Amino acid sequence: MFDYCYWPEGIEVELNKQLDNFHHQAQLLIDGEVFLALANKILKAQVAGKYFELIILLPKGYRTLENANLFHRITQAGAKVGIIEVTAFDEGFEQFSIFDNRLYYSNKRLEGEVDFADFFYKKHQDFEGLMNVSRMVNSYSQEIKLSFTAEKYFATKGEEISFFWESTNANSNILIPGNRMLEAHGEERITIEEDTFLTITSKNEKSKTSLSIFIKCLEVDHLRLSVSIFNKEVDDYVPIESISKNNEIFAVYMSDVVKIEWVCKPGTTLFESRLGKLNNIGFHNFVCLEKSSLNFEMHFLNTVASKEFHFFPLSKDNSNLEDEEFHDIAQKMQKDRVEEGEQLSEKETFLSKVFSLFSLKK
């Protein structure tokens, strides 16, 4: 998902190639010399609908008409451009570029091994911090002012996030994709299912301006959880599945020993409401005597995901069921026992296999 390239010299040559290859967004922290070498390619990429955020390092007091014209042309075409003036160039200062929040170019070698998911998130924050302290380049047309931001720029697949916008002196604000008309300011929530690139274009009679945001979809399974019960006949734990398609609901027999195991990606932080902070790899055993729940919460980058597991203990004769949920679960278990005898073994579910083992206990 993430790639890193170390390019100590002549980085403008390699960046020039990448300007043809990326799909949505490029964030470049470069000096004025590299900028001049890439400016024409940046303008061509903007015509193709690609979005740029540029931070340009210039010697303090340095001004040229050529630079000024290029800055304004690129800004007018929809890029966000900031200038940082430096008294002297430090050879150890890192110039880096991020393409589509997944490809990283730098003139500085990484020290040791890193978790690239966390690395990209931090570098994205570094870039935003430098942009905020830079001197912004304004377009020639000052009539329209537009801001467009997202709640976060890295999201797990299926996560809902908000984006915000505000424009002044615009007659129309259009969101792409969808060519949908927006109010002058507002907030909307979207579900992230893939890498998402959004653009708002604001217009009036005299001018037009656009801003874009790019949200990286993290499709990696950062947290894996499994549930099993201990069976004395086989002297081992046997995996079971949820009886619900949409929720993690497990039916077990009274006094069964339940084991829940988890594995989460390095760089994540995992909590359970009663157990507290957990190791990235671990398990928890308990004897199920009453209806109980485990509530897991995973923190990764700037995202928080939660998952709940519910356990219902049933007596083997089903004589003490009072709750409607318990009746439904009992019927489900009984149905699976009948189906187990009728179906071929290759069509058995994990749950029906477990019920066959339960029957050995009687």
Taking 70 as the threshold, does the pLDDT of residue 339 lie above it?
A: no
355 contacts 335 by C-beta, under 8 angstroms: no
For residue range 203-220, what is the model confidence (pLDDT) as tens digits?
887 788 899 999 988 765
Mean pLDDT, residues 60-73: 73
Is there a cis peptide before residue 177, judged by omega within 30 degrees of 0?
yes
Taking 60 as the threshold, does the pLDDT of residue 327 lie above it?
A: no
For residue range 129-145, what is the model confidence (pLDDT) as tens digits?
999 999 888 765 556 88
For residue range 23-41, what is the model confidence (pLDDT) as tens digits?
889 999 998 888 999 999 9
Residue 320 φ/ψ, nearest 5 degrees? -110, 25
Nearest Cα to Cα of residue 111 among 92, 132, 129, 136: 92
Lowest-pLDDT choice from 159-173, 227-241, 294-308: 294-308
Mean pLDDT, residues 67-82: 84
For each of the domains in the chain, give its residue range(s) and CATH number, in order of start.
Answer: 1-140 (3.30.870.10), 141-219 (2.60.40.10), 223-361 (2.60.40)
Q: How far is 46 from 22, CA to CA, in rounded Å?
A: 12
Mean pLDDT, residues 301-319: 77
For residue range 181-200, what is the model confidence (pLDDT) as tens digits?
999 899 999 998 889 999 99
337 contacts 351 by C-beta, under 8 angstroms: no
Lowest-pLDDT choice from 137-141, 302-306, 329-333: 329-333
